[in-house]
């Protein structure tokens, strides 16, 4: 028996003239009704979607008719672009006044990394040649970096107590104020795991938790003895947004000694001067995981990385891979800019500018191209490395227009990198090792050949218009011809390559607005935060 419109309200609704139209036309009506010019924006403080002016999404039509509501399910999300932006969660209680959850997470990562480096130095006798060989096999270039670093100490080219008592630790962890990459963190953790089978490992590595022993090296002691296993095994996803419980599980194992603020990301009072952010990508991943039914209907998502964010944001696109696989209609664009995302390279750069301006009145007016190149290489090579997993039609890294300011230099760096590799290849010898160069650990790329080859491959693809995952709206440059480049450098030594490369790396790039003040002002907190 068919429903009776007189007795069944739902059946009565179906008698509406709207339902005499074809379904395809009704869907167009729903799309027109729900369309918002600026789309929807996610707010991290509520976890909900809003209009651009933070007004609630209008769903009144759905509430007036059950039949319409059934047909309109998901129409708003299919029709509108959903934008996620960098953001933070401010907890009611914090760590010594630091209420920013992103800041607390960053502080823990820095402390764990530095403590692991201390453990490595103390347990160096447990690091056998077999351990190093296994490390390189498993971790590749990141593993080789530790091999070169330890050899530099053994050869006397680097003292462990160098640089205000922190030496190898600071040089490894924060070369020029640049934070550890995910690959370096993973290699360090794996190196300790390999060394931990040695009978003396626990005894030696535990010295990193002994304040008396650390004081003899002028090292800070970040964790209590009880934290040994936790520090050794802690490995959250780079794109994680930890809960308060997860933070407290490690914060409760921290010591309370005051710290020098020079390396502020390990935590000092200066962290309370700074705003901290989770990446737009991390926030989107969290939303996708918590709201699968809503994500199912989404079609176009924009990730606006409008601030620097914690925990190696260049790596976070990997966290999108399972969601792109699960939701076939999902299309994601990740927007990054030179002065909003790439520079300064690492959070120490933000803190350095804030501290220098506050205490010394120093305002930097320009930066070296080397610092910008490092960040650009990280972002581009990360996408290249994940290319086989990221779906070409589903994900795009969109480089901002301001990157055009330095692209000609990036083009030259990629060209010199390929040229130096080919130069040595034609002579049947290997390129100079990163670890044997005089500038090892003092600069990021001592020679052109030390720039990852994936970067050169990506630049060439962008020039040729064949890059599947990276979009650059500026002029990517002309193709270079090695047959013309190499004869100009015939009979060059490594020193000759170094001199040309050094001149490129030291090129000065003017900061926007004429100084770093405008950059760091966006991160400055003016209110006073009391210790809790």
- One domain for residues 382 and 233: no
Q: pLDDT tens across 474-509, in order?
A: 899 999 999 999 999 999 999 999 999 999 999 999
d(CA 250, CA 246): 7
**Tokens, residue 493:** 């030594």
pLDDT above 80 (res 360): no
Indicate whether 239 and 382 sit together in one domain: no
Q: Residue 190 falls within a domain, yes or no?
A: yes
Give the pLDDT score at 142: 86
**Strands of 8-149, DSSP E:** 40-43, 48-50, 82-85, 90-95, 98-100
From the list 19, 30, 85, 24, the residue with the least C-alpha distance to 52 is 85
3-class DSSP state of 87: strand
- Residue 201 in domain: yes
Give the pair of three-digit tokens for residue 276: 């901290």
pTM over 0.85? The answer is yes
- pLDDT at residue 234, rounded to an integer: 96
Instruction: Using the predicted structure, report yes or no on whether residue 84 has a pLDDT greater than 60.
Output: yes
DSSP letter string, 171-203: HHH-GGGPPPPHHHHHHHHHHHHHHTTSTTHHH
Give the sign of the dihedral formed by CA 293, CA 323, CA 43, CA 55.
Answer: negative
Determine the average pLDDT of the residues in 425-441.
Answer: 77
Residue by residue, DSSP assigns 290-349 as H-HHHHHH--EEEEE--S--SS-GGGGGGGGHHHHHH-TT-EEEEEE-IIIIISSSSHHH
As a 3-state breakdown, the chain gives helix, strand, coil percent values, each rounded to 5, of 55, 10, 35
Residue 4 lies inside a defined structural domain of this protein: no
How are beta strands 98-100 and 90-95 bridged, if at all? antiparallel
Q: Are 173 and 117 within 8 A, CB to CB? A: yes
**Residues 363-398 pLDDT 10s:** 788 999 998 999 999 999 999 888 877 777 799 999
The predicted-structure confidence for 277-327, as pLDDT tens digits, reads as follows 999 999 999 999 999 999 999 999 999 999 999 999 999 999 999 999 999
End residue of a domain, out of 202, 235, 256: 256
What confidence score (pLDDT) does residue 115 get? Answer: 93
Task: Pick the closest to residue 305 from 342, 275, 345 (CA basis).
Answer: 342
- Residue 413 in any domain: the answer is yes
pLDDT in tens, 238-279: 999 999 999 999 999 999 754 444 344 444 555 667 889 999
**What is the mean pLDDT of the segment spanning 95-110?**
89
471 and 397 Cβ atoms separated by less than 8 Å: yes
| Domain boundary residue, one of 211, 235, 256 | 256
Q: Please say if the pLDDT value at position 7 is more than 60.
A: no
Q: Does 419 reside within a domain? A: yes
Give the H/E segment covering residue 520.
helix 517-521
Q: Specify whether 104 is located in the same domain as 249.
A: yes
Residue 55 falls inside a structural domain: no
The per-residue pLDDT for range 116-137, each reduced to its tens digit, is: 999 998 999 999 999 999 999 9
pLDDT for 457 beyond 50: yes
DSSP string, 234-253: ----TT----HHHHHHHHTT
**What's CA 508's distance to the chain center, in Å?**
25
Beta bridge mates, 278? 87
State yes or no: pLDDT of 158 exceeds 60: no
Question: Is the predicted pLDDT of residue 6 greater than 60, yes or no?
Answer: no
Most confident range, picked from 161-170, 191-200, 352-361, 442-451: 191-200
Range of the domain at 389: 374-510
Same domain, 378 and 237: no
Half-sphere exposure of 332 (CA within 13 A, CB side): 27
In a domain, 184, yes or no: yes
Q: Which residue has the tokens 């990394």?
A: 113
How much is the mean pLDDT over the chain?
A: 85
How sure is the predictor about 171, in pLDDT bands with cuts at 50, 70 and 90?
very low
User: Is 36 domain-assigned?
Assistant: no
Environment class of residue 466 by beta-carbon count within 10 Å: exposed (0-12), middle (13-18) or buried (19+)?
Answer: exposed
Q: How far apart are alpha carbons 374 and 364 in whole angstroms?
A: 19
Number of domains in the chain: 2
């Amino acid at each position: 028996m068919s429903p009776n419109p007189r007795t069944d309200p739902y059946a009565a609704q179906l008698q509406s003239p709207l339902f005499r139209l074809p379904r395809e036309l009704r869907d167009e009506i729903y799309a027109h009704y729900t369309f918002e010019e600026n789309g929807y924006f996610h707010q991290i403080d509520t976890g909900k979607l809003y209009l651009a002016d933070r007004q609630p999404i209008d769903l009144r039509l759905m509430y007036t008719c059950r039949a319409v509501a059934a047909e309109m399910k998901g129409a708003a999300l299919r029709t509108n672009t959903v934008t996620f932006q960098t953001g933070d969660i401010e907890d009611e209680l914090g760590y010594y006044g630091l209420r920013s959850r992103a800041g607390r997470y960053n502080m823990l990562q820095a402390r764990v990394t530095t403590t692991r480096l201390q453990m490595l130095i103390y347990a160096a006798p447990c690091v056998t040649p077999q351990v190093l060989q296994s490390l390189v096999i498993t971790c590749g270039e990141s593993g080789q970096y530790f091999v070169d670093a330890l050899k530099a100490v053994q050869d006397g080219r680097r003292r462990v107590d160098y640089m205000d008592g922190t030496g190898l630790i600071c040089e490894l962890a924060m070369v020029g104020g640049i934070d550890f990459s995910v690959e370096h963190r993973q290699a360090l953790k794996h190196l300790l795991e390999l060394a931990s089978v040695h009978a003396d490992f626990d005894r030696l590595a535990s010295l990193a938790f002994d304040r008396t022993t650390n004081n003899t090296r002028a090292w800070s002691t970040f964790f209590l003895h009880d934290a040994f296993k936790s520090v050794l095994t802690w490995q959250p996803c780079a794109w994680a947004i930890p809960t308060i419980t997860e933070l407290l599980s490690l914060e409760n194992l921290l010591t309370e000694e005051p710290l020098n603020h020079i390396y502020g990301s390990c935590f000092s009072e200066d962290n309370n001067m700074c705003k901290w952010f989770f990446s737009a990508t991390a926030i989107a991943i969290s939303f996708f995981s918590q709201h699968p039914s809503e994500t199912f209907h989404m079609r176009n998502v924009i990730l606006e990385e409008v601030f620097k964010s914690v925990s190696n944001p260049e790596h976070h696109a990997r966290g999108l891979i399972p969601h792109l696989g699960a939701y076939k209609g999902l299309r994601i664009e990740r927007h990054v800019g030179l002065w909003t995302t790439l520079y300064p390279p690492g959070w120490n750069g933000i803190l350095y500018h804030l501290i220098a301006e506050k205490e010394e009145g120093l305002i930097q007016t320009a930066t070296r191209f080397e610092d910008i190149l490092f960040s650009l290489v990280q972002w581009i090579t990360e996408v290249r490395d994940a290319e086989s997993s990221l779906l070409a039609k589903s994900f795009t890294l969109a480089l901002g227009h301001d990157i055009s300011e330095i692209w000609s230099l990036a083009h030259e760096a990629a060209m010199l990198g390929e040229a130096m590799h080919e130069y040595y290849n034609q002579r049947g010898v290997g390129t100079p090792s990163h670890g044997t160069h005089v500038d090892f650990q003092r600069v990021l790329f001592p020679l052109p050949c030390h720039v990852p080859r994936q970067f050169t491959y990506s630049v060439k693809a962008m020039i040729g218009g064949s890059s599947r995952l990276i979009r650059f709206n500026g002029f990517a440059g002309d193709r270079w011809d090695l047959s013309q480049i190499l004869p100009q450098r015939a009979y060059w030594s490594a020193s000759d390559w170094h001199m040309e490369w050094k001149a490129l790396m030291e090129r000065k790039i003017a900061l926007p607005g004429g100084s770093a003040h405008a950059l760091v002002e966006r991160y400055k907190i003016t209110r006073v935060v009391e210790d809790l």
